[in-house]
Amino acid sequence: MSARRLLPLLVLLGALAVPAGAGAALGSVAFEGGSVVTSGARHRFVALQERGGHRELVLTAATARRYAGWAASWRCHVVADEGGLRFGPEPPVYVGGRLSLVAGARSGALGRGLDYCQVQLRRHEVRRRPGGLVVRRTRALHQTVALSPAGTAYVAVVRGAQRMVGFVGLVPGLASRTTGTLPATAAVVAKFRAEPVVALAGPDATPPAGRVGLWTDGAHRYCVVTTLADGTRLSYDRDTATRELHTNVQDELTLLATPSWWEDVDAGSTRYQGPVGR
């Protein structure tokens, strides 16, 4: 099981409770008799097509067959304003709507100037079991479609942050309970040997593209680093003693701190609904 799915929310939020305030994605969290499990979304519910000089999102036939009875919606974002100032932590929604779950259903013309769109398929189920037990389950699946070079770059950074996010929260949890010091780099990497991680020689080192690099000073400082396909280096460098933080993915980690359209969500809860007393 991956580090992302093992990551408890409370550990994560504790690790990221720093003045700069970066965040991370959920793993498995108990709450009021329920749980939430998220995973990176990599679906293909819609295709991007040109029609009459405009682009549209078009639902695939396979999606219509497989997800009959679900509710589908879409929304599109702009990454930065006209002056190039980036919106964050999540770019605003500029246009959106519902999508019929029939093959070939279209969003309508998307218009110009949009950077990326996201599609959500959602289903809510309620099941009543003997003894007054009510089980509720909500599933939400997502797809992201880049529309522009700026959108492509932004999506790549968020995907890179998704690779990092579990380690950002889990590494400080490896600190000694008595001294508060972190294990050496090799020992930390050994804890995640089932993951695509490598040991870094130092805080400024860079892992191969698509991999996550980890480094600690054996005391209180640790680094989580990944490299994008274009060579962009994303890093999270934190000192757990001084709480000093240096990162270039703060907005993206904050965005991933709670369930969002970047993640698939499977949320369940149970409650008793029956007679009380005699």
Report yes or no on 278 lying in a domain: no
Please give the single-letter amino acid code of residue 26: L
Residues 8 and 42 in one domain: no
Report yes or no on 229 lying in a domain: yes
Q: Decide: 185 and 148 in contact? Cβ < 8 Å.
A: no
Domain count within the chain: 2
Structure tokens at 19: 């003045």
Report yes or no on 277 lying in a domain: no
pLDDT of residue 213: 97
Local structure of residue 174 (DSSP, 8 states): G
pLDDT of residue 21: 31
Structure tokens at 205: 């080192």
pLDDT of residue 267: 85
What is the rounded average pLDDT for all residues in the chain?
83
The strands making up 71-77's β-sheet, listed across from edge to edge, are: 28-31, 34-40, 263-272, 133-146, 116-129, 71-77, 93-99
Residues 115 and 214 in one domain: no
Give the predicted TM-score (pTM) of the model.
0.80
Residues 134 and 266 in one domain: yes
Residues 130 and 230 in one domain: no
Whole domain around residue 68: which residue ranges? 34-148+262-272
Report yes or no on 112 lying in a domain: yes
Using 50 as the pLDDT threshold, list the residues of the chain that sit under it.
1-2, 4-35, 278
